Amino acid sequence: MAIIATDRDAKGLLDDLPMSSFQVWTVLMTAATVVLDGLDNQMLGLAAPSLLKEWGIGREALGLVFALGFVGMAIGTLTAGWFGDRFGRRGALLAGVAVFGVATLATGFSDALWQVAALKTLAGIGLGGVPGTASAMIAEFTPARWRSAAVTFGVVCVSIGGILGGVAAAAILPVLGWRWLFYLGGTVTIVFTVALWRLLPESPRFLEFQPHRRTEYDRLMHRMGATDAVRIAAEAPSVKSGPAPFSALFQGLLLRDSLALSLAMFSGMFMIYLMFNWAPTMLSASGFGLSSASLGLTSFNIGGTLGAVAASFAIMRFGSRPTLVLMAIVGAGACVFLAVLDIGGGRNEPAVLAGLGALGLFASAAQSAMFAVGAHAFPTILRGRGLGLMGAAGRAGAIVSSVAGAGLIGGGNALFFGVLAALMLVNTVGFLSIRGHVPPLVRKGIAA
């Protein structure tokens, strides 16, 4: 019978050290992969109005392409979680970025919808594992007192990538066309992957459970300023651990968190990817121009970025339970506002942009902070697969949203945002049900 080591078994050297410049730099490099994930992930949604017009295809056909992409993302999420727990976070992260970079570049050369669909599925396999793997890696490079803020910052980089994509689309689409979005996005991603291959180290918490890589672990800890701690740890009994089966996520105290986090992620990712993939098309169908439709998604992403940063500090002060529950409820209110707003013929554009910004500020930001909860709730030896399970539930929500989006647009903003309001209430139930929420900071460390 395998012995499953939890975080209580680990030596916790990082928690006793200050945040070194090496750790900050590593967190920033890891977060940059999430920026690229957000940038590449939203490109087809931004290009959708132009693609529909140029190729004369229906929304339902494009919805199936989105769905195939999310099937790929579900596969990638679970595969990356298993790979990261078994062979290391670094390899899983770099492989994912490389795959979606190549697929994104190739999409720009597509001449038929089936080619876009195939490449979107391939890109999804790469995209799927990046947020969860990056969250695990950031958590394992960061002391406990900064972990929630660091993980939330990493995940919010999806929104930063979306902001960059929205701004780029507003400038590029009217002048160069949709193909150049994919040319530029894919090229930047591939170049960055080559640089990361040389610069990005392996996770110290992963190495801690790999006795045959002890020298690499000691060298990495030394770079983070743990010279004496490494010597003491080397003299201490080593942690004995066996392989933890995936089924352990559904046993004992982890069962409730696995289910609650999956429910919250399903509803949250339904909302986010409905916005990413269909909001520009919905706004365009309501009479807004291409630039205005792109800026609507940019407003949503800017709100998500600012809200996630604020949420990370609120979690440090109040804990994640009250913070996320409140944000989900207010996000539902923003959906109701957008549902009743008259936007026909491109009317009330300032109010639309403000409402989309508020939706990002509260609802989207809450989903970004959820990865910090998952990184806290799941022990190290199961963290990759636990975050992968969350991610897979989120991809399932995204698949449903991609197919449902075409029909929801037909009902106008009332149906589109009315459904999102209901989902934000489901999201609230998920947040309330989580047992392993991040506790607030206390004067002498983190509450147990």
- 277-280's contacts with Cβ under 8 Å and 24+ in sequence apart are 277/42, 277/44, 277/45, 277/48, 277/66, 277/401, 277/402, 277/405, 278/45, 278/48, 278/401, 278/405, 278/406, 278/408, 278/409, 278/416, 279/45, 279/356, 280/45, 280/46, 280/48, 280/49
Pick the CATH number of 14-446 from 1.20.1250.20, 3.80.10.10, 1.10.150.240, 1.10.1740.10: 1.20.1250.20
User: Looking at residues 60-76, what average pLDDT do you find?
Assistant: 83
Q: Averaging pLDDT over each range in 40-44, 82-86, 355-359, which range is the top one?
A: 355-359
pTM of the model: 0.68
pLDDT of residue 12: 57
- If you count them, how many residues does the chain have? 448
pLDDT of amino acid 9: 38
Residue 228 pLDDT: 52
Q: What is the pLDDT averaged over residues 324-350?
A: 91
Instruction: Kindly report the average pLDDT of the chain as a whole number.
Output: 82
Could you tell me the two tokens for 84? 């990261």
Q: Is the pLDDT of residue 146 over 90?
A: no
> Is the separation of the CB atoms in 368 and 156 below 8 Å?
yes
| pLDDT the model gives residue 402 | 79
Least confidently predicted of 17-31, 110-124, 311-325, 377-391: 377-391
What's the rounded mean pLDDT across residues 73-82?
Answer: 82
Tokens of 148: 């929630």
Domain ranges of the chain: 14-446
More confident residue, 310 or 153: 310
Supply the pLDDT for residue 7: 43
Question: Does the pLDDT value for residue 148 go beyond 80?
Answer: no
Residue 306 has pLDDT above 50, yes or no: yes
Average pLDDT rounded to a whole number, residues 23-40: 88
Residue 442's pLDDT is what? 58
Q: What is the mean pLDDT of residues 227-252?
A: 59
**pLDDT classification of 243: cutoffs 50, 70, 90:** low
pLDDT value of position 13: 64
User: Is a pLDDT exceeding 70 seen at residue 273?
Assistant: yes
Q: What is the pLDDT of residues 170-188, one digit of tens each?
A: 788 888 888 888 998 899 9
Is pLDDT above 80 for 209? no
Query: pLDDT > 90: what percent of the chain?
Result: 23
Pairwise CA distance, residues 374 & 377, whole Å: 5
| pLDDT of residue 300 exceeding 80 | yes
pLDDT of the residue at 98: 93
Query: Which pLDDT band holds residue 235 (cuts at 50, 70, 90)?
Result: very low
In this structure, what token pair is assigned to residue 261?
A: 């986090």
Residue 237 clears pLDDT 50, i.e. is over it? no
Distance CA 24, CA 313 (A): 18
CB-based contact 43:104 (threshold 8 Å)? yes
Lowest average pLDDT, out of 11-15, 70-74, 226-230, 235-239, goes to: 235-239
What does the pLDDT look like over 88-125, one tens digit per residue?
888 899 999 999 999 999 998 988 888 989 999 999 89
